[in-house]
Structure 1
Amino acid sequence: MQLGEPECTGECCGFLSVVVQRMGNVVQWSGWQVPHGDGRLPEFDFDANEYDAEVARAGADPGWRILA
């Protein structure tokens, strides 16, 4: 997943990248790339069912804009 302005790249001011993977009942965010090499964020683990519910909620909210 990459979050940022469409024009941004890894060396830009607002680019953020993370590996999102499902491992059984866990969704893990890891392998962060942050702007300007400001250090990596820790891994985050989420319950997969709760994660799915939150993604569905956000997808139904017209205030969120998801780009594919």
Structure 2
Amino acid sequence: MELGEPECTGGCCGYLSVVVQRFGEVVQWSDWEVPYAPAPAPPEFHVEASRYDAEVARVEVDRSWQVQPEN
């Protein structure tokens, strides 16, 4: 799933990339890529799958957090 993408390419402005995988009742975020970052990539992160699913369902309904494109 792609959460967002800049108008330019990753090689131009940089980007943040992460692999999200589900292992049974655990969701894992790993293999972060943060080119051009001044600090190291974040560590691997684990969360209970039920909590992850609830949060994904919440943001699918409430999109107020999303940046709206300019006209």
TM-score, normalised to structure 2, is 0.73
SS at match of 1:35: coil
How far apart, CA to CA, are the structure 2 residues paired with 1:34 and 1:3?
14
How far apart, CA to CA, are the structure 2 residues paired with 1:24 and 1:17?
23
Unaligned runs of 5+ in 1: none
TM-score, normalised to structure 1, is 0.76
Unaligned runs of 5+ in 2: 67-71
**1:29/1:52 Cα in 2 relative to 1: closer, same or farther (>3 Å)?**
same
Structure with higher strand content: 1
Q: What amino acid is the match of 1:40?
A: A
Q: How many residues align?
A: 64
Q: What amino acid is the match of 1:56?
A: A
- Residue 63 (str. 1) matches residue 64 (str. 2): yes
**Could you say which residue in structure 1 is the equivalent of 2:16?**
16
**Could you say which residue in structure 2 is the equivalent of 1:50?**
51
